[in-house]
Amino acid sequence: HQRKTILDIQQQHRDKIPITCITAHDYITGKFANESNVDAVLIGDSLSMVQLGYPSTNQLKFDEFTYIAQAVSRAVTSKYLICDLPFGSYESSVSKAVESAMKLFQDCDNLQAIKIEGGVEYLEYFKKLDDIGIAVCGHYGLTPQRHAYLGGYKLQGGSKKLQQSLEIFQTCLKLQNSGKVKMLVLECIPQALGRLITQNLDIPTISIGAGKYCSGQILVQADLLGMTGSTNNIKFVKQYASFYDTAIDALNDYDREVKNQQFPGPEHSFMMSKDSYQELDY
């Protein structure tokens, strides 16, 4: 496949074809994504939980993230590839954000954009990054890096929070109107708000729990594939496969067959014939 670029994504948006995006958190899930029909891959800092077992994205160190981001990037050769700036790698200054973004671009083979959680407080950052040729994807609504500050992973905006809904809408407009944000992830907001934002923006909106009217969707791959065995309580996740159960079943089959002396069978074993060793390349 030819690599998808920002131009392909923008054309697809003009053609009103929903943009599919999926996260990847290691070389294998990078491969899955790369071989699938999805349009874009995000190296999301959710890998802090699904790959490294941390309780949230806040424990993830930049070096740990970079190490994994490199592995993912080696697998993703044909998709539009976006990478998060993880917690602690950008907030303190514009130059820190530039350094972190540059490091990711240097270390990851095929990176095309970086994503930053937040609103107008980062407009200066988006301007600098865009001006030096690093495409920025925004992320607003629920911003998981601030889950502690927000008191949890909660719906943002809504009919009982009209002021907050208005603020989210206005912030999204400001991000787009800065001209420095190429696309915008909207997380965990009511569908009607996702629709209002999408109808009033020209840049693509990518929903995770922001409803069907956004320009595209994103899910965490481990959730979609049912890899973690514990995501059924997240409303916006649809689990399309059950890798967790499949894996445990397979491991139990293996355990049973070894204990029953069914595995390894003759087809998995090297037999010594009378006059020669059977040599196998494997």
Q: Does 72 bind ligand KIV (CB under 6 A)?
A: no
9, 34, 44, 222: which one contacts Na ion (CB under 5 A)? 44
Q: Does 73 bind ligand KIV (CB under 6 A)?
A: no
Task: Give least dist CB 115 to Na ion, A.
Answer: 7
Partner touching 215 among Na ion, ligand KIV, none, CB below 5 to 8 Å by kind: none
Choice among 35, 99, 187, 279 that is catalytic: 187
Q: Does 60 bind ligand KIV (CB under 6 A)?
A: no
Query: Quick check: 175 and 123 in contact, CB under 8 A?
Result: yes
Residues 6+ apart with CB under 8 A from 68: 25, 26, 43, 47, 51, 52
Classify residue 31 as exposed, middle or buried by CB count within 10 Å of its CB (0-12, 13-18, 19+). middle
Of 39-47, 71-79, 122-130, 264-272, which part binds ligand KIV (CB under 6 A)? 39-47
How many helices (H) and strands (E) are present in the chain, helices listed first? 11, 8
Which CB, 114 or 250, lies closer to ligand KIV? 114
- CA dist list (Å): 71 to 53, 107, 110, 218, 273: 18, 10, 11, 20, 43
Give the DSSP letter of residue 272.
B
Task: Give least dist CB 141 to Na ion, A.
Answer: 12
Q: Which two tokens stand for residue 164?
A: 């907050």
Query: Which of the residues 45 through 74 are near Na ion (CB under 5 A)?
Result: 45
Partner touching 221 among ligand KIV, Na ion, none, CB below 5 to 8 Å by kind: none
Cβ-based neighbour number of residue 107 at 10 Å: 14
Which CB, 121 or 267, lies closer to ligand KIV? 121
Query: Which of the residues 216 through 235 are near ligand KIV (CB under 6 A)?
Result: 218, 220
- CA dist list (Å): 144 to 147, 202, 217: 5, 25, 17
Contacting residues toward ligand KIV, per CB under 6 A = 23, 42, 44-46, 84, 185, 208, 218, 220
